[in-house]
Structure 1
């Protein structure tokens, strides 16, 4: 799949996909994208997913949002400028107060997975400064997006 708008097959399981161009400044002295930038790419994908399920909008109204409890990244291939990437995101597991987000980064020039990561997201009431249950409205929105085919949000 060489067309920039065609989603590669490894991202089909991800209902939310964004495209991100690699900036020259993303690279480090070793001539590839610095590891910290992968977490920024995950964050961009996470925020896009949260927009799709209206979590950020609801957070403004209720003061309840999601915070990162833990995160990880497994690197497979270096990414170099010039390139663009697709970043897929999905929620693979939900408990009472948290959920697991998974990410996959695919290079558009290589059409190969460069990294995979995950984050444990904890629901948090910023007004009461404590974790809370996932609101039913959010749980329903997540279940709905996870049941739809992949989509591509151009960024």
Structure 2
């Protein structure tokens, strides 16, 4: 069981007038990390992706310290905090070796876009989630 880590590059345009990364960008960084993490389990074909999609139903971010624009990427750690029959919660830390900038969670729903309704997680999806499950750490 392990976290997925995405070294997220910061862009000059991500910073606000104070040189801090804008709070809305944290959601984008989390999206990039989870999308890359889930490449392994997503179907390769468009029809399969539509019928076996995931949608975000809730996001919560606790900002711990200002993240200033810089050339070095920031690490976005993501892991599964808990899962059920059709939903799961991902936990995140946006940090570098010395500083925690944010902790967050997203609730994800397994969803069939063609039927426009939630669906049950498949056995391969549950196995994938189990491999990435760990209790949320507190820093």
Q: CA deviation at 1:23?
A: 1.2
Cα distance in structure 2, aligned partners of 1:89 and 1:56: 21
Shift in alpha-carbon separation, 1:58–1:138, aligned structure 2, 3 A: farther
Equivalence map 1:6-155=2 (5 Å): 14-52=2-40, 54-55=41-42, 57=44, 60-61=47-48, 63-82=51-70, 83-107=72-96, 111-146=98-133
Shift of 1:57: 3.2
How many residues align? The count is 132
In structure 1, C-alpha distance between the alignment counterparts of 2:125 and 2:45, rounded to whole Å: 9
Q: Shift of residue 46 of structure 1?
A: 0.8
Q: What TM-score comes out, normalization by structure 2 length?
A: 0.86
Consecutive unaligned residues of structure 2, counting only runs of 5 or more, are: 135-139
**1:59, 1:144 → 2: CA distance?**
25
Partner-residue secondary structure (3-state), 2:36: helix
Distance 1:59 1:95, change over 3 A: farther
| TM-score for the superposition, normalised by structure 1 | 0.77
Deviates more, 1:87-96 or 1:21-30: 21-30
User: Unaligned 5+ residue runs, structure 1?
Assistant: 1-12, 148-155
SS, match of residue 131 in structure 2 = helix
Contact 1:14 1:88 in 2 (8 A): no
Runs (4+) of structure 1 exceeding 6 A deviation are none
